[in-house]
Structure 1
């Protein structure tokens, strides 16, 4: 029996390694494909720009577009620039003057206007297909599949060499890091290859423009304007720092930026030679290349962190000792389950706001309706908390949990039917009900299997899993959005839910020992009477109005709703939007774990809540400046910083706020106070998107965040001046 258990664990471990490394493979492949496609497009645009300059010089001399001879000679270098170019057309009005091929292709189109001295006389169209680019990436990544197989074999070998359960964690860490490092190297090699292709394309342009000197034997001394031509070409390509042309080992033309540093440029130099003794050397700005490399590494660091949260949460299950108690085992099983069910919803976070806005417009509604889609999710979430809490007291918790996963997955699938507004509305409500059901069921498991020895650790599971799941989902969803499409993301979320439904079956069946007396109606009346009593307590209401509800409003209205949709309108990529949102979750995850022990040492909570509101005010003021910045790169940088600060603020609030309301209303039952507070603060979830959406329409983007900033500043001061704990709570 023991041997069978060990073999089963080894098989599950090998399967988990395979899935985890495949996830890294997919992340690296998608990143490489996206970067290589952009480099290919840049090379084609550079070649096209050179052709445009040449044609417009002829047009400016008075020659009509249809009378220009030798178009094929001028335009053929564009085809040679990159394998993604499948066709070129020159169009004047409704007349097609030139076409490279008569074949039909499914391709994206770049249209460049052609002008003479006075007006536009035609256009140059270049058709690009990603098929060839994808084929090149596939060829490069094919060996990585063998690396996955080798890594799985290495994992099995390491496990078989040791009898300790912790070897699973160690072996998994080794193969995970090795695979990550290998994928990073592969993407770096592809980036360098794309850079070389770009340099070759630019060298072809220069060679073509200087062909009378380089190929026909004309004395360079008799040709003027070569340096100026290179300067204009270099200025059209900002990343190029210098271009040097040599003929028979003699420099005949050169253009370089001011303050050029040859030592630094030698790292980014690409000399391209031909059989006639000509050489064109293209040098790129090291700072530009470094910034692009840092961006790639940043993407990988964030994405691999997201993958690691998921993978290591599961591998810890296999690393547990056989001597662990049932409570420890169940808590270890609950952690990855909750993390991935949160990930299921957060996969859609980078694409959902803009998608819902498009659905509203397609159905004849204004963009303000997007906030109601978000509100429906949190209405479903809030309305389900009490009924589901009752269900887990009367039925098998595992069945309740499985039902929540099914509902959440079904809500993801319904989002694919964008032409049916009613189904989209239903989808958001069902998803809210499903996520609330999962949350309550997981919380019930945690309460059943925790005691005084592990209660703090058990309570931290929810905080950790929510933020880690959001980090992983937002990052991976943003990256895969371009590769899978929006409907593909919805389908992936539903598939993840299906896998978690199967995984939930490993949890023990938890049938209550005895049925709770009273009906759901009685429970609801009891809750309402308790709420009514607490609403008459000034300290409770101050905390609710100045901290609880506004904080939850910022989570749904700003983080989940406004920031993604407004950044999307500024042209920010889904990948960058996902990373902005991840910054918030990283900050909350880090700060929450540090604040709770600090609160316990100091014995006061008011300072943390006031400080949290003050920091939230600063973050909102920073966020208001994002929409005054024209450069999208700077906008992303400021938005990321503001989300980090927002996460810091909420980290100070999330941990101590329940303790605060219990201490300041200590004449009431502590459990009833905490439950009522958690229920009422959901009003912030429900109202967040509506309030922020209305402010955006009334006062504009930047002013909305500044108005909210002033509110939190006033709330912080008011709480500090007027909030006083009850005497009993103060002495506790």
Structure 2
């Protein structure tokens, strides 16, 4: 049942994302098709207006406007206005439909407006009809999965069967999305050909010698330039070439000669229009779809892998190993719940701040409430898992985080949003401490390394999957739908937590939660007086956490959104950061152990973070969207490499440097982890203010300078690490 549930949800995810991609591209092509006809009508009407004829006196307006209505079934309304006077009306103009207004001008001023209403429901119905057979495909693939699992006695069949049906579903959806895109291209080609034939109707229908008409090539060239996806337009009469216009690029022409993107449309018994699309534009659209599906496949693979491992594991697995395997999907799902919202959260908070008149810069204060709730809950949570059943604390944390997502989804106003972010942070802290408690109780010397890597793997894998899936679904589900989906995942994870054993405290410790917090405050006060401790915290720990929340989670999505970059690309940029952190974190431990010094890893991490911020400063001044995406992705990969070098070794560095102190290692590590959370809390506030004061480029350069200076200071003043480690 678990395997069937995982496969069903995975196939439905591919279905929904494919549907959203198809709907997005088909809607765009439909709009472009109608706009081509509308542009032709505008040019015809303004030609008459420029001759001095008033708009009300133009004869045959219905014949000029009728081709717009016939261009696509999604056109449900058309209206021509002269001031407040209505000159032409077709259909009904619904308020929630996609309304396009085109101004009409004579030589001197604006004299009218042409309004076209496109129905999203009609476009959606067309795409839905094409996707309906995929419901049966899902049923067939599920039957194949069940049959293959029941047929084999080997537990590895779960992973093999899942991979097979998931690939089949992905490829099928990709083929359909490509087919719908090609249908849209053909529909647009017919509309464009109709526009061209109308402009040249005297030549095509009547016996007018085209040699007596000048400016045809110029007109076609202007028409091609207003439709940049076209590489060639040619008009024929009785198989004789009347005029043509084409892009003067040899490679484009060579590719177009294959005929795959050539359309020949007969416009009358005498003429035809031949259109060729630019191959690179079509391939760019298809490659974006392919990239989105590749990212989706990778993200789903990360999520499903940990679930399928429960089914593919050994039959005689020990209880400890089984619990650790069950912790992985649960923690990954909890992280996924929050990271689904990462690609849209900064711009959503900025819009909320603007709506209440606080300005976009105030969004950093809203954004930091999550991390404030997280930091303030860590110490009480550590006490709670010692006093109560750890599974109850875990379930309470998951439900608390789900409530935070649910409050965002129903949009009750600014107060509810602020409470939602604070509650979500508190819930995630309870989840983190509970998961850590399970890992500590069920790990031993035989699986200590495996257990230590669970949190690192699941956090980064959940962030990768959430950022990718959330970005791809955001355009289709919208902000509120994404928040609702996150809340639903939380409810599912709370039910899944029942597979974990109940872990009641064997002996309740004395003292209250506030007493435990007071003890941690006392530990913090003693430790921050020690130079080695505070040096590492101020030069490495806190800046690294501040960069995570202020740069990766807040500034990068916001800057990309301001440039109009799609949510898919924003999510994939964030995904590149987490992927590199996951890769480097796995390798840095053995490297530091072999090197015998964590100082070099921390210094190199700070230096790379500085260069990553310089690259970010370069990215924000890039003129093209694709350039900023590429450079920012490289910068995020460098930042991920930096944080991968720092996250694991920094605690070891602090503990080793404090070896001569009388404080226990557990107290040093816990205190350090608590104090570095100030970086989490302050990161978005600091970066938000710097963006407002200096602008994006100067802010990134100033932060880069700080990290490079911090690296130099750390190298100069921290001189005892190597000796301590080697001893």
Matched, 1:62 2:52: yes
Aligned to 1:482: 475
| C-alpha distance after superposition, 1:309-337 (max 9, x if no partner) | 11222111111121111111111111111
Structure 2: tracts of 5 or more residues without a match: none
Residues 606 and 204 of structure 1, relative CA distance in 2, 3 Å threshold? same
Matches within 5 A, 1:554-565: 554-565=547-558
Q: CA deviation at 1:575?
A: 2.5
Report the alpha carbon displacement of residue 278 of structure 1 after superposing the two structures with TM. 2.6
Which of 74, 82, 90 aligns to 1:100? It is 90
Q: CA deviation at 1:276?
A: 1.4
Q: Give the length in aligned residue pairs.
A: 722
Cα deviation, 1:490-535, whole Å, max 9, x if unaligned, reads: 1111111111111011111111222223333442333223222221
Question: Deviations for 1:112-153, whole angstroms, at most 9, x for unmatched residues?
Answer: 222222222222221111111111111111111111111111
Q: CA deviation at 1:595?
A: 1.9
1:469-548 equivalent positions in 2, closer than 5 A: 469-548=462-541
Question: 3-state DSSP class of the match of 2:504?
Answer: coil
In structure 2, what is the equivalent of residue 214 of structure 1?
Answer: 204
- CA offset at residue 381 of structure 1? 0.4
CA RMSD of superposed structures (Å)? 1.8
291-300 vs 273-282, greater mean Cα deviation: 273-282
| Greater shift in the superposed pair: 397-406 or 280-289 | 280-289
CA deviation after TM superposition for structure 1 residue 105, in Å: 6.4
Greater Cα shift, 329-338 or 603-612: 603-612
Q: Which residues in structure 2 correspond to 1:569-588 (within 5 Å)?
A: 569-588=562-581
Q: Does 1:722 align with 2:717?
A: yes
Map 1:189-588 → 2, pairs under 5 A: 189-261=179-251, 262-265=253-256, 266=258, 267-274=260-267, 276-588=269-581
**Aligned pair in 2 of structure 1 residues 536, 152: CA closer, same or farther (>3 Å)?**
same
Helix, strand or coil for the counterpart of 1:453?
coil
Bigger CA drift: 250-259 or 361-370? 361-370
- 1:713 matched to 2:704: no
Structure 1, unpaired ranges of 5+: 1-10
- For 1:75-224, list aligned pairs within 5 A: 75-102=65-92, 104=94, 106-224=96-214
SS in 2 for 1:513: coil
Query: Offset of 1:451 from its aligned partner?
Result: 1.5
- Contact 1:417–1:423 at 8 Å: present in 2 too? no
Q: Matched residue of 2:449: which SS? A: helix
SS, match of residue 231 in structure 2: strand
- The offset of 1:73, in angstroms, is 2.1
Contact 2:50 2:107 in 1 (8 A): yes
Give the conservation status (yes or no) of the 8 Å contact 2:292–2:472: no
**CA 1:260/1:72 → structure 2, altered by over 3 Å: closer, same or farther?**
farther
Match of 1:42 in 2: 32
Alignment of 1:591-606 (within 5 A): 591-606=584-599
Given candidates 30, 34, 53, the residue that maps to 2:20 is: 30
SS class of match (1:131): helix
SS in 1 for 2:132: helix
CA drift at 1:21: 0.8
Report the more deviating stretch, 301-310 or 360-369.
360-369
Shift in Å at residue 224 of structure 1? 2.6
How far the C-alpha of 1:110 sits from its partner, in A, is 1.4
2:63 maps to 1:73: yes
Q: Which residue of 2 aligns with 1:610?
A: 603
Shift of 1:419: 4.7
Cα distance in 1 between the residues matched to 2:514 and 2:411: 37
Give 2:686's aligned residue.
Answer: 691
> 1:441, 1:678 → 2: CA distance?
16
